[in-house]
Structure 1
Amino acid sequence: MNNHVSNLVIGDHIGSGHFGDVHAAVDQVHGDVAVKIISKKDDQSDADWDAAKAEFLREARHLAAAEHPNVVPVYHLGESLDGKSIRYCMKLCAGGSLQSQYEAGPMRLSDVRKVGNEVLLGLSNLHARGMIHRDIKPGNILIDENGVARLGDFGLVTDELLHGYAIGAGYRDHLAFEYWELGITSAKSDIWALGMTLYRLLHGHEWYLESQLPRMVIADGDFRDKLKWLPHIPQRWRRTIRAMMHDDTDLRTQNVAQVQAAFAGLPTEPDWECEVGGQQVRWRRQQGGRVIRVEWNRNSLRRHDWRAWSEPIGPGRTRNLGGSNGQVGSQVAIRALETFLRT
C-alpha cells in the first residue's frame, strides 16, 4: 500500500463504516474505486483529531496487511494538503454488501454456502496473521464484479491480543456470550458472529425481526437454542450453525478449518427460493418442466394452513401436491412443512 494523495474524483456516498464514510470515486490508476474518508470536525480538538487519524490509519494498514482474494484490497492511503481529511482508496465491489440481500429476504442454500466458503477463506487468512475481525455481519461482506464474497470494513480489526483474547467490540447482536460475560472477544468470537451472519442470510430481515433482539437475551445463555428456523433449513445446516454459536468456547467450533470441514458436507438441495411477507411464507423451485410452489399462512398460534402445488412451464395442468386440509396448530404445520420441503 502506497502513502500519497492521488488524483481522485470523489463521487456519490455509498455507505458508512467505522471512522468514516465511503464514496464511489475514480482513480487515475485503478479506475472505479471506493474511498473511505474521515474528516476533522469543526469542534474537534487537534489531539482528538490526531487520535482519530491514528485509528483510521490502523484500520487501513490492517486491511492492507490482510491481502487475500477474499479480503477487500487497499490500493493507497493519503492525507489532504490541509491535513483536515484522510482517505484510503480500495477496490469498489460492484455487488455491494450482503446487507441489501439480507433485507430483501432469505437467500438460497446454495448462495449462502458459497458466501460462507468464501468468507471463511478470507477469515482464515486474517486469523493466520494474528488478527481478529470483531465485526462480521452482512453489511461487512462485499460482493465483487465476479460475484466473489470479500471481507471488508476493518475498523474494529485488532491484533492487540493477550493469550488470544482482545477487548470486546462490534455489532451488539453479533457479540458472543463471552463478551457479555467477560467483555472479551477472540477468533472464536468471529466464528460465533459468522454463525449469526449465516443464520440471518438464510432467514432474511423480516423473519429475524420476529425474534427478540439477540443483544437482549444472549447474556442469559443458550441463545443458540432460541433460534427460530424456517422449515426448509436442513438439520445439518442447523447443527453446523448451532455448533458455531455454543456459549462455551471449548465446545464451540474451534477454528475456521473446522467450519470449512462442516461446510463441505452441507446440502443445498432442494434449493428453494423463499419469501417472507407478514404472516405468509412462500417457497418456489423449478423441477424439470414444472414449478413447485408452497404457501404457508400463519394466522395465529392455533390457526395455520399450508398448501403445495406444481405448475407447468407452458401448457398443462396445475397439480395438487399436499397441504394441511384446513387450519392446524403451528407445530403440526411446521413438522409437515419440514417433511415436504426437505424431500
Structure 2
Amino acid sequence: MEEAITMMPSGHDKRRKKDGGLLLGRFEVGKLLGAGTFAKVYVARDVRTDELVAIKALDKESILKSGLVAHIKREIAILRRVRHPYIVQLFEVMATKTKIYFVMEYVRGGELFSRVSKGRLLEDTARRYFQQLISAVAFCHARGVFHRDLKPENLLVDDHGDLKVSDFGLSAVAEQMRGDGLFHTFCGTPAYVAPEVLSRRGYDGAKIDVWSCGVILFVLMAGYLPFHDRSIVAMYRKIYKGVFRCPRWFSQDLVHLLHRLLDVNPQTRITIPEIMENPWFRKGFRHVRFYIEDNQLHSIDDPQDYPEDDQLQNNEPKPDETYESGSESDCSVASCPPTFSDEQHHHPLPRPPSLTAFDIISFSRGFDLSGLFEETEEMTRFLSKEPVSQIISKLEEIAKVVSFKVRRKDCRISLEGTREGEKGPLTIGVEIYELTPSMVVVEVKKKAGDGQEYEEFCIKELKPGLQHLVYESPPVIKTTSNMS
C-alpha cells in the first residue's frame, strides 16, 4: 500500500464490535477525509481485497430528525444510475442500528480545487479536465440526473490524472420537476450558481449545470472566478448581468466558448451536444468507452480487460460515436468499441456451464417445476436442442437487424442498443446453460434500459426470431386404469 492508514483509537467510534477493530467486520478505518453536518468521510482498507475505499458515514437519528430520508434514498438511486469512469463510484450501501455507510471509490489525488488554488492550469490540461467533466455531465443528463452543485471542490483527480465528479447530495432527477418542466429549489454554491436560479422563477437542470461548467472552465484557465466580489449581493448582481472579462491569454475560440457557456439567457445558452462540436473543445477529444460487468467498470481502451475469447461486433458505427449505458440497477452495460473479427466463427465455443438439480430448483418458485420455462416480467427461459453456435448466430442476426451491438464472453451474450433515454440504452443479457448433453436452457433478461422497450423488442424481434429454436416437449397423455 502506498499510503499508511492511521487507525483511530478504539474508543473513537462505537461502530467497532468484536471483530478485531474492523468496521462491519470488513473495513480497517483510517484518517478522516472530511466532515459535514450529517456525514463524515473516512479512508478505509477492505481487508478482503486490500484495496482502499472511502466510507461516508451518516447518522440515522440526525437524518430522521431533519426529514432527509427521501433525500438519502434519492442520492443512492442517483449514484447507482450514473456509473461512469469520470464519476466517483458507489460500491455498496450498508447500515447498522445507528449508522448508514456509503462505501465508495477512494480518489487519492484529492480535489481539483487544490490544484487550481496554486495558479491557473496549462490550456491543454484545463481542456482535458473540461472534456472529462462534460463527458460525465452528458452521461448524467441522458439519464435524467442533474448535479446542481458543480464546482472544483466537487471534482476529484485520481492517480491517472483523470477527473471524478463527486458529491451528488444536491442532485435532482427529472421526476422532481414540477408541471412546468422546471426545478424550483434554490441550491448550489454562490460563485457557480446560474442567474436563472437567482431569479427564483424555475430553471432547467441541464442549463444550470452547463453554466457551472462554464464557471469551472474559466477558473481552470484564469486561476480566479469570472464573477467575484467581497459582497455576495454585488457578486449576484454581476452573475445576473453576466458581466465578466477574459484575460488576454485566452484564445478567441476559448473566449467565444465561454460567452456561450455563460450566456445569461438559458434559452440561447450552449447545449452539451453543441459543446462537443465546439472547435476549442474538440481538440484532442476522445469519447470515453467502457462497459460494466460483474459490478466493475472496464475501460475498452485497456486490452487486459478483455479475455481472448471475447468477440465484439459493431453494426455500422458512426465516426466518434459513444456507446454508453447505465441504469438504476447495478447491471448496466455500456457497449464496446468497433472491433469486429471474422475469425470469431473459427474458434470453438466452450461448453456451456452445466445446471445442477439445485440450479434447476432455484429457477422455480418453490418446488413446482411446471412453470420453469415460462416468462416473468423482465426475463424469459426456454429449452433448445439446437447447437449453441446456432443460437448465438441467430442472436447476432437479430441484433444486426435492429442495429444492436453484440458482446460475447463464452456462453454469455449482451445485445446492446444505442438509443439514449433516462435509463440508458436497452441492454439484454443472454446466458446458455447445459441441461443435458443434448439440451440447453437459454435465459434472456433485461440488464439495463426501459422495461416497455424491452417488452416491445421481445414481442417484435426476439420471440419471432428464436421461435424455431425452442424445444417443445410432447404432450403428456394421461391414462386411467379401471380397477375391477
- The TM-score, its normalising length taken from structure 1, stands at 0.67
Secondary structure of the residue aligned to 2:133 is helix
Distance across 2 between alignment mates of 1:18 and 1:149: 26
Q: What amino acid is aligned across from residue 142 of structure 2 in structure 1?
A: A
SS of equivalent to 1:71: coil
State percent identity of aligned pairs.
22
* Corresponding position of 1:177: 195
1:197 aligns to what? 216
The one-letter code sitting in structure 2 at the alignment partner of 1:171 is T
Larger RCO, structures 1/2 (Cα 8 Å, 6+ apart): 1
Amino acid at match of 1:178: E
Please say if 1:120 is aligned against 2:134: yes
Shift of 1:35: 1.3
2:227–2:235 Cα contact (<8 Å) kept: no
Q: Secondary structure at the match of 1:216?
A: helix
Structure 1 residue 165: Cα displacement: 2.0
Q: Is the 8 A contact 1:195 1:245 kept in 2?
A: yes
More displaced, 209-218 or 223-232?
209-218
Q: How far is 1:258 from its partner?
A: 1.2
- Written as runs of structure 1 = structure 2, the 5 A alignment for 1:51-130 is 51-80=67-96, 83-130=97-144
Distance 2:83 2:104 in 1: 12
Which secondary structure does the structure 2 equivalent of 1:104 belong to? coil
Q: Assess, with a 3 A threshold, how the Cα gap between structure 1 residues 6 and 215 changes in structure 2: closer, same or farther.
A: farther
Separation in 2 of the partners of 1:221 and 1:209?
Answer: 9
Q: Is the 8 A contact 1:34 1:92 kept in 2?
A: yes
Q: Which contiguous aligned blocks of 4+ residues in structure 1 show a shift greater than 3 angstroms?
A: 16-19, 207-211, 217-225, 263-268
Counterparts of 1:277-288 in structure 2 under 5 Å?
A: none
Please state how far the C-alpha of 1:6 moved relative to its aligned partner.
6.1
Number of equivalent positions: 256
Determine the C-alpha separation between the residues in 2 that align with 1:209 and 1:196.
Answer: 7
Equivalent residue, structure 1, for 2:158: 144
Q: Does 1:168 align with 2:182?
A: no
Larger displacement relative to structure 2 (15-24 or 214-223) = 214-223
Counterpart secondary structure, 1:173: helix
Question: Structure 1: how far apart are the matches of 2:74 and 2:210?
Answer: 23
Quote the Cα distance in structure 1 between the aligned partners of 2:40 and 2:201: 28
What is aligned with 2:335? none
Alignment of 1:1-343 (within 5 A): 7-16=26-35, 19-29=38-48, 31-40=51-60, 44=62, 47-48=64-65, 51-80=67-96, 83-159=97-173, 160-162=176-178, 163-166=180-183, 167-185=185-203, 186-204=205-223, 207-208=224-225, 211-212=228-229, 215-217=232-234, 219-220=236-237, 225-253=242-270, 255-262=271-278, 264-265=280-281
Q: 1:178 to 1:210 in 2, by over 3 A?
A: closer
Q: Deviations over 1:225-265 (max 9, x none)?
A: 53243321212212211211111111111x21111222655
Is the deviation greater in 10-19 or in 211-220? 211-220
Contact 1:222 1:246 in 2 (8 A): no
Flag the 1:22–1:221 CA change in 2: closer, same or farther, 3 A.
Answer: same
Q: 1:233, 1:97 → 2: CA distance?
A: 24
**CA distances 1:263-295 after superposition (whole Å, capped 9, x unpaired):** 655779xxxxxxxxxxxxxxxxxxxxxxxxxxx
Matches of 1:156 and 1:263 in 2, distance apart? 32
Provide the rounded CA distance (Å) in 2 between the counterparts of 1:129 and 1:214: 37
Give, in angstroms, the shift of residue 223 of structure 1: 5.3
**Quick check: 2:26–2:48 contact (8 Å CA) kept in 1?**
no
CA–CA distance in 2 between the matches of 1:235 and 1:214?
Answer: 31
Q: What is the rounded CA distance, in whole Å, between the counterparts of 1:232 and 1:238 in structure 2? A: 10
Unmatched runs of 5 consecutive residues or more in structure 1: 269-343
Per the alignment, do residues 7 and 146 of structure 1 end up closer, same or farther by CA in structure 2, a change over 3 Å counting?
A: same
How far has the Cα of 1:110 moved from its partner? 0.7
Q: Hey, which of these two has a bigger chunk of strand by percent? A: 1
Please give the secondary structure, in 1, of the residue aligned with 2:117. Answer: helix
- Output the CA distance in 1 between the equivalents of 2:260 and 2:47: 47
* CA apart distance, 1:111: 0.8
The change in CA–CA distance for 1:10 and 1:52 in structure 2 (over 3 A counts) is: farther
* Alignment correspondent of 2:353: none
From the CA coordinates, give the structure whose radius of gyration is larger: 2
Q: 1:202 to 1:214 in 2, by over 3 A?
A: farther
| TM-superposition CA deviations, 1:19-78 (whole Å, max 9, x none) | 42221111235510111111257xx5x8416x3344233213211211111111110101
* In 2: Cα distance, 1:113 partner to 1:70 partner: 15
| Runs of 5+ consecutive residues of structure 2 not aligned to the other structure | 1-22, 285-484
* Aligned amino acid, residue 212 of structure 1: D
Instruction: Please tell me whether the aligned partners of residues 5 and 77 of structure 1 are also in contact (alpha carbons under 8 angstroms).
Output: no
Distance change >3 Å, CA 178–CA 18, structure 1 → 2: farther
Q: By how many angstroms is 1:190 displaced? A: 0.4
Q: Secondary structure at the match of 2:145?
A: coil
Q: TM-score, normalised by structure 2?
A: 0.49
Give the superposition deviation at 1:133.
Answer: 0.4
Verify the 8 A CA contact 2:242 2:264 in the aligned structure 1: no
What's the C-alpha RMSD, in Å, of the aligned pairs? 2.8
CA contact (8 A) 1:211 1:228 kept: no
Superposed displacement of residue 15, structure 1: 2.6
SS of equivalent to 1:135: coil
